[in-house]
Structure 1
Amino acid sequence: MNRKVGIFLIISLIIGSLVGYKYSSGYDIQKVSDHGEVNLKGKDIKGAVDFVFDNKENIYIAFPHEIKKISNSGDSKRVYGDEAEIYSIEYLKGKIYAYIGNEVKSIDLDSYEVKSLVKGIPNIGDYKNGEIKLNRNKLYISVGANTNSGVVGEDNIWSGIHNESCDIPTYGVVLKGTNYGSTGAFVPKGSSTIRNQKIKGGNIGNASIITYDLSSKEISTYGYGIRNVKGMDFNKDGNLYAGVGGMEDRGERPVKGDYDYIYKIEKGGWYGWPDYSGGDSLDSPRFGCSLLLNEVPTISPPSPLYTNKNLSGIESLSIRDNIIYFIDNKDKVLKSLNLFGATTGELKFPEDFNLKKVKIHNNNIYILENREGMIFKYDIDSIGKKYDNIIVILLLSILLIIILMIILLKKSLVKSKELRMKKREE
């Protein structure tokens, strides 16, 4: 057998095995890191917006107007429906907690009793899709900004219906009197403002994270000046982290050069919106915008842990131990981020996927894709098993090649011997 052919076969098998390892079977999901395995957990859930597991491994899927239970045996059952839009769900002790329209409700899974826990959330605008998260008997609820950067304009389509609506500050603010056309900050479209004008805060303000105590029923503000939360979770030390979308180049007060961020959210902290982003003032050379507030809670809002170079890219995040896993839906990747701000690519998905949620359950990572309607399970701890499988496959492949080469060599020797004998006879 030709030596070069043998070497080529061995190299081809090694490369083929590695390529087979790098991609998830059937879905062209590229594993950027050397971690674990990706498998399909569920399918046929097009349009799903969120999901959660109970303590019996049943999974609850939230769609825009209903919640379905899929048992661990595969049976499906509708457990809730609503005309209002469903944004986010959580599970605790036999109840689903759901962010629905401008309310947060509880749904008892035994009696199907529905209770309204938080009403009147002012999320009628551009960033109404809020998040809820359970931690230590409290619900953490994000309330998005109604506008891009604090001023109602032609880009806010909802203002044609809710013509008296605008952003509501969490606490009272004092304005500079900066107007864009005929409209100022924190006032309805067409209302101008003057210097030192005071705007009262609301019971619940826009661009904030509030809490609801499940025992005392108390509602309080946890953090504010947070434009729109795109996923939040707690690490093992109980610290809250949130993905936050940056301001866009649109509307009456367009902002150029902003990004998405991941912040550590401290209780009582102000994170700058609408006059700061990523820790920088909007009148800095980076942005070059006029400011809206004459007085601010602090002249130095916290800097983010991480800056994502894609604007409107971060879609969801979840934390395992002290590693943050988040989706960049523009690049179609799942990334991991440590608490020092260093990132690692984990998974690369096809460009036509719409990645909606990432969640941790029993130390596994689950990713919801809602265009095709699938949930993937990323078993990050299976690295050893995977490497063992690769080694076994490679060794078996090499062994088969060696056996094949021995057989071919033996045949070649026999044939050569026969030729020599034939020549002698001649």
Structure 2
Amino acid sequence: MKLLTATNRYYVLLAGLLFTIGSGLLYFGVLWALQGEVEERLFQQRDYLRQEVGRTGQLPGTPFEGRMQLSTRPQPEVLRDVLLLEPLENELEPYRQLTFRLQLNGQTQWVSLSKSLLETEDVRRLIMWLLLGVLGALLGSMVLLNRWLARRLWAPFEHTLQQLRGYDVQQHQVLQLPDTRIEEFTQLNHTLTHMSERVATDYATLKEFTENAAHETRTPLAIMQAKLEQLLQLPDLPAPAGPLVADLYAAVQRLARLHQGLTLLSKIENQQFAAAVQVQLQQLLTEKLQLLEEFIEDKQLRLETSLPATGALQLHPALADSLISNLLHNAIRHNHPGGLLRVVLTAQELAISNTGPVLAATQNPAQFFERFRKHNAASDSPGLGLSIVQGIAAFYGFEVRYEYAAEQALHTLRVRFSPAAIRP
């Protein structure tokens, strides 16, 4: 909901409530005044009749627009609303009637004076239509005024939003937001400008640290790995030292893989993979499966594939390679000997399924995507594979979904591509 819509809603509700209360008070106040005027005329006529009868002993007639009825039957002396038949139009019309006693020619007569309320009804309708017209004009003018003010007063805010939408931290840009006539918008622009300066500085520092860390640690790891390989190949290496060196070599390899995974995750989170090309996933999957053929055969996995010639995806080549590699390695590593490995590719998604350990009811599948989360703590895997998959998917707006079929103990990871990345 837009801010203008929200404010208009409250303005309209408040104005409607106040206008309804005020209109009701005005409406009933006018009716009370009109009815009071009619009653005052009736009381004046009663007093006039009593005065004339006392002076002349006869009724003077009706000196105002109304009706007068005489009756010798006792009637309650009240002021009430009645409906009387109008002879000319043959319709019942509302009247205000006053009944009182009067001594006329030595007899007690009950006199009923009636005055028409049609004029009051006409005034009532007129007031009602006027109030409705004023209410409609008031609400309409409020909406139009708010829209006009929104275009003028909120123009600096819209300009700020446009600048934020086009902001790219990778360009080391600093937002240039001008001062405005509205103090709050000026403060907002100053705050965003300072924030963009800090973000640009922090991003540059983090990027430099990531690049330096990746570069400076890669060389020592490579040297350690090479030296350990040479040490393992020495013919005079003492027998007791062999297992120790082998364990050290395996630890260095795990450290190298961990370093590579963390560096990749850092680059993904810092959006350092801007360039993208059209990648044929069908071709990439075929190549990766050929490279992993030895691992598949070692576990005697039953491979099922459905790789039609679908369209391409707009991806960074390194990220596409990492996405496919981590998905396939995860499916092979957590499969059991003689299990099933199924790879299904469509134009909208990639699904990779594998048999594996039974998923306990207490296990939360969302934890599988956490960093350093491993099903088997003794595994030499750094536990970053699915974290990298989720990071790449989030970078391109893909949806990653985990499914588990308990009957077959079949684990499935589905990566649904975003429409923006699909290329025909």
> TM over 0.5, yes or no?
no
Greater relative contact order (CA < 8 Å, ≥ 6 in sequence): 1
The structure where strand makes up a greater share of residues is 1
Q: Which has the higher helix share?
A: 2
The normalised TM-score by structure 1 is 0.27
Q: TM-score, normalised by structure 2?
A: 0.27
